[in-house]
Amino acid sequence: MTTLKNSKGFWLSIVLALIFFGIMQFSISSGMLNPFYINTLMFIGINIMLATSLHLIIGITGQFSIGHAGFLAVGAYASAVMTMKLELPFIIAILAGGIIAAAAGMVIGIPSLRLKGDYLAIATLGFGEIVRIVLLNIEYVGGASGMQVSHLTTWPWVFACVMITVIVIRNFTNSTHGRACISVREDETAADAMGINTTYYKVAAFVIGAFFAGVAGSLYAHNFYIIQPSNFGFLKSFDILIFVVLGGLGSLSGSVLAAILLTIVTTFLQDYPETRMIIYSLVLILMMIFRPQGLMGTREISTLFTHKKTKGGKKDGSHNTVA
Amino acid sequence: MEATIPLLKVDSVGIRFGGLKAVSDVNVELFPGELVGLIGPNGAGKTTFFNLLTGVYVPTEGTIALNGENLKKQPPYKITRKGISRTFQNIRLFSELSVIDNVKVAYHSLAKHAIVSSIFRLSGHFSGEKDMDEKALEFLRIFNLDHFKDEKAKNLPYGQQRRLEIARALAANPKLLLLDEPAAGMNPHETKELMNLIAFIRKEFNLTVLLIEHDMSLVMGVCERIYVLDHGQLIAHGKPGEIRNDPKVIEAYLGEEVL
Amino acid sequence: MELIQQLVNGISLGSIYALIALGYTMVYGIVKLINFAHGDVFMVGSFVGFYAITVMDLSFISALLISMFTCAIFGVLIERIAYKPLRNATRIAALITAIGVSLLIENGLIYIRGAQPEAYPNNVLPMDKLDIFGVSISSQSILILSVSIILMIILQFVVHKTKIGKAMRAVSFDSEAAKLMGINVNNTISATFAIGSALAGAAGVIFGIYYIKIEPLMGVLPGLKAFVAAVLGGIGIIPGAMVGGLLLGVIEALVSAAGYSLWRDGVAFIVLILILIFLPQGLFGKNKREKV
């Protein structure tokens, strides 16, 4: 019965999303939305993809990765090479960006088998920096001066990719495979003892997360006219990390909300980058001290509405189980 | 019982951490359907022995075989899938997961639907998840935990957490169940209930059970055979009556607790 | 001879890494926190030294002492305000906070004084060239190296011969037991931050004199590399941080000498990942296993 109810909510949110898509598409094509807002919309979409893909790695699987900008960079450059150097269609570029980033995810996922917690964090940070330095040294993609990219990212592309990302990550999480990942996060030793191939699921989380970060990178690259290695430093990784932390480690809807909220904040503080970073850093510090579980904790929006009901059930349960 | 082949055969197993021999030259044979106790004073190496059986530690000497198959250098998850499942001395539940999800995780290795099927919500996903739901609920019913199924594991009272851990270990479909001080922290009434439950599931699921207990009197009551470990070595093994009167066992326990 | 020249450069740079790495390693040893803000303490130290020399017209040694003193206080403030409330939180929460503190210091300074760089005056120390076996070595690098070595010797003395050093070692070994033995854990942790930050402050001044240019984001890369040095030597182990720092400096110099100067910054991270995979306990560390 609960599955039926859940899927009802699922289809409702899809319908709502499609309506939102229609309204936005109409506003854009009729010229009601000025380029500034359109651009903000694109960024919101790209950031949702980055936030949810990192959420899978950190929030669900508990692998503290702070090199997500590395996957973004791999996707961005791979897709730019596809369209600009090999003159392939955009859709191929998007897929190639995702797949090549996923391969990078596998490469970084493998050391993660041996590392835990803060050591893994530093290793992934190092990985992100290595990606940046490698790109800096490849003449084929323009080195430090970067690479010219044509503007191909449009609202329908962004919308479609965001929807696919969120649905795939949601479906993965709400299955036995997602539970396996969560068990790794909760207690790796116990997960192992319960027959979970922890290595496999850690790498799987990195590969899937990196794939969508790479797809986001393709959209990101083709939303600009130029990409440079300096766009993908660890500050970018921290930006993405903040979405996940603010939203609540373990909450998909929390990551989405945080990505929307912070992208809007960023847009309004575009001309005051230090102010933005001061706000970000204060949010991080205060959050960890006063509400380390983030805005949503591990809950999802859908559970907020059904909260009352489960509470009632709980009381019933505790009464008749003494034996 | 002596005529059948052993389910578990541990042949002169030992492990050294640096220079320290934590366990050495242990020989254990468990036959199908037995309920066997492993006792010994604190620090005798009982939990280390469990960690050797489950692949958390790799023995530096000796062999462990399940149904005649050598388990050497198998990772813990593979050993679990071959049929050895365990609980932990200090409860290790997935505390943020719901009670039923804790059990479902253990059932994961028996699930048939692949990642792709879940991502694209193919029919395999739905039938697989439904199957898991039903199986998990069955285990919870046996342990009287079905009322708590949507509660987070960390919110359960202590005694229920111990029971949930056993339910979870059982869901992994073991032939051999290893229980590490399952009654620790329970009152006499809860302990007695737990022992009845263990006796029940052993019959119901055709299990062999190896039980670590600190409390001798408790083990004497339920176990058919007992192994005694002290300073990493087996000092005695036999029927409860024999163990009770074994001078070596009494010596090992003397000063630790009065028999 | 070019090679020896590069080695000398490597050792000078390495001694700066080592000074920063000491703070990382001491703090990690005692509270198991990667203090991301440590590189920014180094940066603040550099700026304090700069203002002491240019505005207050002080000598090298006075500037060094003022910078060390200021950084010690700064380090303790960071610990008391941001890290202390999180002492029992998860390590990930502490790490996120440390990242937040780092961003706050960098952007706070940019907000106050702008992002423009400053240049240390080049007459703080005599610039004689010494000719040793045909290799010309500036008296500056020798002075820098000696200051670093003196500081490290003082640190060894403090850690092994003084009461506070004993307390630090006790807390890092087992903070609960130390508390039961009557050691004031909070003060000991603060003292560790103070000493580590003072060393980073000294490194900041030395960096400014050696490399001239300083700016608010200058602490990020040396900070990360110093962490790599600490991991290389075995995190939590003081002599390990010294050796790790010097080794990393020399490795970087050799990579530059081999004509790959653009890859120099990447080498540290490759070293890090290799060390983490193949020798996670570092050169001087002992392997620990999780208790099940």
Render pLDDT for B126-148 as a digit per residue (tens, 0 to 9).
Answer: 999 999 999 999 999 999 999 99
Is residue B54 included in any domain, yes or no?
yes
Let me know if residue C80 belongs to a domain.
Answer: yes
Two tokens, residue B19: 């220079």
Chain A closest-CA separation from residue C125 CA (Å): 34
Strand partners, B238: B226
- Asked, for residue C197, whether it belongs to a domain, the answer is yes
Residues B199 and B245 in one domain: yes
Q: Which single residue is written with the structure tokens 């009802």? A: A8
Closest-CA residue of C relative to B47 is C292
Residue A147, beta-bridge partner list: A227
Residue after which a domain boundary falls, among B172, B200, B230: B172
SS3 per residue for chain B:
CCCCCCCEEEEEEEEEECCEEEEEEEEEEECCCCEEEEECCCCCCHHHHHHHHCCCCCCCEEEEEECCEECCCCCHHHHHHHCEEECCCCCCCCCCCEHHHHHHHHHHHHCCCCHHHHHCCCHHHHHHHHHHHHHHHHHHHHCCCHHHCCCEHHHCCHHHHHHHHHHHHHHCCCCEEEEECCCCCCCHHHHHHHHHHHHHHHHHCCCEEEEECCCHHHHHHHCCEEEEEECCEEEEEECHHHHHHCHHHHHHHCCCCCC
Whether the CB-CB separation of B142 and B171 falls below 8 Å is answered with no
Is A317–B86 a contact, with Cβ atoms under 8 angstroms apart?
A: no
Q: What is the mean pLDDT of chain B?
A: 89
Same domain, yes or no: B146 and B189: no
B neighbours by CB contacts (3+ pairs under 8 Å): A, C
Give the residue from A281, A287, A290, A291 with the most C CB atoms within 10 Å of its CB, the best one to mutate.
A281
**Distance of alpha carbon C282 from alpha carbon C265, whole angstroms:** 20
Please answer yes or no on whether C103 and A277 come within 8 Å at the CB atom: yes
Mark which of B151, B172, B193 sits at the end of a domain. B172
Same domain? B180 vs B248: yes
Beta-ladder partners of B30: B8
Token pair, residue B235, equals: 């000092």
Which range is least confidently modeled, C94-103, C122-131, C235-244, C261-270?
C122-131
Query: pLDDT per position in chain B (259 positions), as tens?
Result: 445 788 999 999 999 887 788 899 999 999 999 999 999 888 888 999 999 999 999 999 999 999 989 998 899 999 999 999 999 999 999 999 999 999 999 999 888 788 988 988 888 899 999 999 999 999 999 999 999 999 999 999 988 999 999 999 999 999 999 999 988 888 888 888 888 888 889 998 999 999 998 777 778 888 899 999 998 999 989 998 888 888 888 888 765 554 4
Indicate whether C179 belongs to any domain.
yes
Cβ contact B103:B136 at 8 Å: yes
B178 and B73 inside one domain: yes
- CB burial class (10 A; 0-12, 13-18, 19+) of residue C164? middle
Which pLDDT does position A95 carry in this prediction? 97
Question: Residue A220: its pLDDT value, please?
Answer: 96
Contacts of B51 in chain C (CB under 8 A): 292
Q: Scan for tokens 């319908």, then name that residue.
A: A15
Q: Which residues contact A234 (CB under 8 A, 6 or more apart)?
A: A66, A67, A69, A125, A128, A129
Decide: A173 and A183 in contact? Cβ < 8 Å.
no
Min Cα–Cα distance to chain B from C292, Å: 8
Which of chain B's residues have a Cβ under 8 Å away from the Cβ of A182?
94, 96-97, 101, 105
Identify whether residues B68 and B196 lie together within a single domain. yes
Within a domain: C33: yes
Chain C residues in contact with A124 by the CB 8 A cut-off are: none
**What is the domain range of residue C40?**
17-218
Contact flag B151-A317 (C-beta cutoff 8 Å): yes
Q: Within 10 Å of residue C61's Cβ, how many Cβ atoms?
A: 10
Q: How confident is the model at residue C291 (pLDDT cuts 50, 70, 90)?
A: low
Taken as a whole, chain C contains a residue count of 292
Q: Compute the Cα dihedral for A40, A45, A48, A54 and give only its sign.
A: negative
What structural domains does chain A harbor?
Answer: 2-322 (1.10.3470)
Partners of residue A206 in chain B, C-beta under 8 Å: none
Same-domain check for residues B180 and B79: yes
Does residue B60 fall inside a structural domain? Answer: yes
Contact present, C169 and C185 (Cβ < 8 Å) = no
Looking only at the bridges linking them, the beta strands covering A147-148 and A226-227 are antiparallel
Asked if C148 contacts C12 with a C-beta cutoff of 8 angstroms, the reply is no
Contact C54, C121 (CB under 8 A): yes
CATH number at residue B183: 3.40.50.300
User: Bigger pLDDT: C6 or C113?
Assistant: C113
Which pair of tokens denotes residue C224?
Answer: 């990360």
Does one domain contain both B143 and B64? no
DSSP string, C70-97: HHHHHHHHHIIIIIGGGTTS-HHHHHHH
Query: In this structure, are residues B211 and B36 in contact, taking their beta carbons and an 8 Å threshold?
Result: yes
Q: Would you state the pLDDT for residue C192?
A: 94
B65 and B31 share one domain? yes
- What angle, rounded to 10 degrees, do the helices at C91-113 and A273-290 form? 150
Neighbour count for residue C221 (Cβ, 10 Å): 13
Q: Which two tokens stand for residue B64?
A: 């462990």
Assigned domain for C175 exists: yes
pLDDT > 80? residue C127:
no
pLDDT score of B147: 92
Residue B141 lies in domain: 94-172
Judge if B144 and B216 occupy the same domain. Answer: no
Contact in structure between B48 and B61 (CB atoms under 8 Å): no
- Are the CB atoms for B236 and B246 separated by under 8 Å? yes
User: Which of B51, B56, B58, B77 should we substitute to test contact with A (largest number of A Cβ atoms within 10 Å)?
Assistant: B77
CA distance B120 to B115: 9
Residue B111, in any domain of the structure: yes
pLDDT at C95: 86
Q: DSSP 3-state assignment of A320?
A: coil
Structure tokens at B2: 């002596």
Q: Does B88 fall in a domain? A: no
What pLDDT does residue A323 have?
31
Distance CA C243, CA C288 (A): 21
The pLDDT assigned to A154 comes to 92
Q: Touching check for C292 and chain B: CB below 8 Å?
A: yes
Q: What is the pLDDT of residue A314?
A: 35
Report in angstroms the alpha-carbon separations of A32 from A16, A23, B129: 21, 11, 46
Tell me the longest C-alpha to C-alpha distance in chain B: 65
Both B50 and B116 in one domain: the answer is no
CB contact under 8 A, A114 and C276: yes
Structural domain tally of chain C?
1
Closest-approach residue (CA) in chain B for A322: B144
Q: What is the pLDDT along chain A (323 residues), one digit of tens a residue?
A: 344 445 677 788 888 999 999 999 998 888 888 888 999 999 999 999 999 999 999 999 999 898 999 999 999 999 999 999 999 999 999 999 999 999 999 988 887 677 777 788 888 988 999 999 999 999 899 888 999 999 999 999 999 999 999 999 999 999 999 999 999 999 999 999 999 999 999 999 999 999 999 999 999 999 988 999 999 988 899 999 989 988 888 899 999 999 999 999 988 888 888 888 898 899 888 888 888 877 777 778 776 665 444 333 333 333 333 33
Please tell me whether residues B72 and B183 are part of one structural domain: yes
Q: What is the pLDDT of residue A7?
A: 67
* Residue that terminates a domain, selected from B107, B141, B172: B172
Q: Residue B22 — φ and ψ, nearest 5°?
A: -80, -40
Task: Enumerate chain A positions whose Cβ falls within 8 A of a Cβ in C.
Answer: 64, 66, 111, 114-115, 117-119, 121-123, 125-127, 129-130, 133-134, 136-137, 189, 238, 241, 245, 249, 273-275, 277-278, 280-285, 287-289, 292
Using the Cβ of B56 and the Cβ atoms of chain C, whether some distance falls under 8 Å is answered with yes
Residue C186 within any structural domain of the chain: yes
pLDDT at A6: 57
Q: In this structure, which amino acid lies at residue A293?
A: Q
Mean pLDDT in residue range C62-83? 95
Residue C159 lies in a domain: yes
pLDDT of residue A43: 95
Contact status of B196 with chain A (Cβ, < 8 Å) = no
Instruction: Decide if pLDDT at C172 tops 60.
Output: yes
The SS3 call for residue C237 is coil
Q: Give the total number of structural domains in chain B.
A: 2
Radius of gyration of chain C (CA): 19
In a shared domain, residues B203 and B167: no
Assigned domain for C257 exists: no
Show residues of chain B in contact with A98, CB under 8 Å.
Answer: none
Q: What is the pLDDT of residue C94?
A: 87
* Residues C212-230: tens digit of each pLDDT: 899 999 999 899 899 999 9
Query: Residue C139: is its pLDDT beyond 50?
Result: yes
Q: Is B89 contained in some domain?
A: no
Q: Is any Cβ of chain A less than 8 angstroms from the Cβ of B85?
A: yes
For the residues of A204-237, what is the DSSP string, one character each? Answer: HHHHHHHHHHHHHHHHHHTTSSEE-GGGGSHHHH
- Both tokens of A259, joined, read 């990505």
Tell me, yes or no, whether B18 lies in a domain: yes
Quickly state the pLDDT bin for C287 (edges 50, 70, 90): low
Q: How far is A147 from chain B (nearest CA, A)?
A: 35
Report chain C residues whose CB lies below 8 A from the CB of A237.
none
pTM as predicted = 0.89
Whether residue B239 lies inside any domain: the answer is yes
List, as one string, the DSSP characters of A106-125.
HHHHHHHTT--HHHHHHHHH
Phi/psi for C118 (5° steps) reads -120, 160
CB atoms within 10 A of CB C30: 24
- Give the mean pLDDT of chain C: 88
